[in-house]
Amino acid sequence: MAKHKSVSTKAESGVPDRSPRPPAGRTGLPHAPDPPPLPLAGEGGGEGAGERTGAVAETTEDEEFSYLVEPGDAALRLDKFLALRRPDVSRSRVQRWIEAGAVTRNGAPARARDAVQVGDAIALAPVVDPEDTAYTPEPMPIPVVWEDDSILVLDKPAGLVVHPGAGNWSGTLLNGLLAYDPALARVPRAGIVHRLDAGTSGLMVVARTIAAQTDLVRQLQARTVLREYWALVAGEPPPSGIIDAALARDPRNPLRFRVSEAAHARPARTRFRCIRTWTLGPAGPRVSWVSCRLETGRTHQIRVHMESIGHPLLGDPVYRRHLPATLNGQSWLGHQALHACRLGLVHPRRHETMEWFAAPPPDLRDLMRTLGATEGELSAPLPATAEERRIAPLAKPGGGKG
């Protein structure tokens, strides 16, 4: 028989909820001490962002929660009302619960768009989304560089697909994460909050709880996560620049994206600076070492943006326009020369700024040393420029290093 929790919300009056909470435990879901309330999901924190009380942070599948609608919440959409009551859960997840029939209003099925009224009794029996548990754990080496109860930071090797999809239903990072930590089965997408292309190596963060995942997604939406990549590109780009160009899927090739002014194109913005340029041979083509920082995280963003300004990445199997014939004939790495070397974020539980650096993998490292980079240059983050310090994206100062 399902356990039942009654939660009387006092958000508008500022009176904190005193309902008993379940004991802490390692369930793969948020556990005590509870994280502080988080804003609603959505771009930039979403509408209605702000602190609310009355949330119960730890949940198991057989627990049911009920909420009484008070005057301050009258006329809110049902999904928004529940998202405010459960700030540790994204609004899209609440909507899936409603669609699955896990939410009732006064004992009857409800719709996400229904407006709640004073005195309504809202019951919630959280369910696990089928897609969250449909994947099989597969043991594999997981190159973890940092872990605690809230997050994992790992250094993904090139060639590893991040998430199952068409043509790659097994052997992905997600499968490996489920074997590394079975509790990640309770977190959507096994805690993955951002992806790297299969051919790209480098740092990724994975959430180990739903609360941490929600917090990290909101940091990504607010563009406060530092994501720096090193790339080798054809030619000699300007010393620095900003590529502000929306991206859309190429209608002639569904595997490609392109710069587009179409109404459905998604905004994309990349900052870059040229670190070093080498000339191959007495009169050969030039190759440059470029540092890129993402302000948005679109699929193939750096690869498309650099190709769009005439400097495609070496080894890229898809984005090769403007690549000189002498470079096009080289085998290079067998994948694009792109590595996510630096990651910085505000820890979702500690609320401290943390930052990690990962040197390029051996194949890219060897190529860069052959071109002329020194071991010292490849073993540490580049010093920030005055402009980068001015626009440092991390939301909070201080904190520690990973």
Residues 103-115, mean pLDDT to the nearest whole number: 94
The answer to whether the predicted template modeling score (pTM) of the entire model surpasses 0.75 is: no
Q: What is the pLDDT of residue 371?
A: 94
Taking a C-beta distance cutoff of 8 angstroms, is the pair 207, 193 a contact? yes
Residue 237 forms part of a structural domain:
yes
Residue 135 forms part of a structural domain:
no
Which of these three, 127, 159, 194, is where a domain ends?
127
How far apart, in Å, are the Cα atoms of 378 and each of 277, 371, 382?
15, 12, 9
Query: Above 80 in pLDDT, residue 11?
Result: no
Of all residues in the chain, the percent with pLDDT exceeding 70 is 78
CATH number assigned to the domain comprising residue 110: 3.10.290.10
Residue 400 forms part of a structural domain:
no
Are 351 and 213 within one domain? yes
- Residue 179 burial (CB < 10 Å; 0-12/13-18/19+)? middle
Are 209 and 315 within one domain? yes
Q: What is the pLDDT of residue 43?
A: 26
Are 242 and 109 within one domain? no
Q: What is the pLDDT of residue 131?
A: 54
Count of C-beta atoms within a 10 Å radius of residue 55: 24
Are 253 and 120 within one domain? no
Q: What is the pLDDT of residue 52?
A: 31
Report pLDDT digits (tens) over 225-243: 999 999 999 999 999 999 9
Round the average pLDDT of the chain to a whole number and report it: 81
Residues 53-72, mean pLDDT to the nearest whole number: 62
Are 152 and 299 within one domain? yes
Are 192 and 326 within one domain? yes
Q: What is the pLDDT of residue 170?
A: 85
Domain carrying residue 23: 1-127
Residue 50 forms part of a structural domain:
yes
Q: At what angle do helices 78-85 and 91-99 cross, to 10 degrees?
A: 120
The β-bridge partners of 342 are: 228, 357
The larger pLDDT score, comparing residue 373 to residue 394, is at: 373
Are 111 and 154 within one domain? no
> How many structural domains is the chain composed of?
2
Q: What is the pLDDT of residue 390?
A: 67
Are 182 and 215 within one domain? yes
Q: Assign 165 a pLDDT band (cuts: 50, 70, 90).
A: confident
Are 159 and 285 within one domain? yes
Task: Spell out a b/e string for 219-236, using b for 16 or more CB atoms within 10 Å of the CB, else e.
Answer: bbbebbbbbbbbbbbbbb
Residue 402 forms part of a structural domain:
no
Residue 137 forms part of a structural domain:
no
CATH number assigned to the domain comprising residue 264: 3.30.2350.10
How far apart, in Å, are the Cα atoms of 14 and each of 5, 6, 10, 53, 74?
21, 18, 6, 7, 16
Report pLDDT digits (tens) over 278-323: 998 887 899 999 999 999 989 999 999 999 999 999 999 999 888 8
Are 115 and 195 within one domain? no
Residue 399 forms part of a structural domain:
no
Q: What is the pLDDT of residue 324?
A: 82
Are 211 and 338 within one domain? yes
Range picked from 9-23, 160-174, 249-263, 380-394 for highest mean pLDDT: 249-263
Are 117 and 181 within one domain? no
Which of these three, 96, 127, 158, is where a domain ends?
127
- Alpha-carbon distance of 60 to 149, in angstroms, equals 18
Instruction: Show which residues are catalytic.
Output: 197
Query: Above 70 in pLDDT, residue 395?
Result: no
Query: Above 80 in pLDDT, residue 128?
Result: no
Query: Above 50 in pLDDT, residue 9?
Result: no
Query: Above 60 in pLDDT, residue 379?
Result: yes
Which of these three, 79, 94, 127, is where a domain ends?
127
Residues 44-67, mean pLDDT to the nearest whole number: 43
Query: Above 50 in pLDDT, residue 55?
Result: no
Smallest CA-to-CA distance from 237 within 327, 301, 317, 322 is with 322
Residue 105 forms part of a structural domain:
yes
Q: Assign 129 a pLDDT band (cuts: 50, 70, 90).
A: low
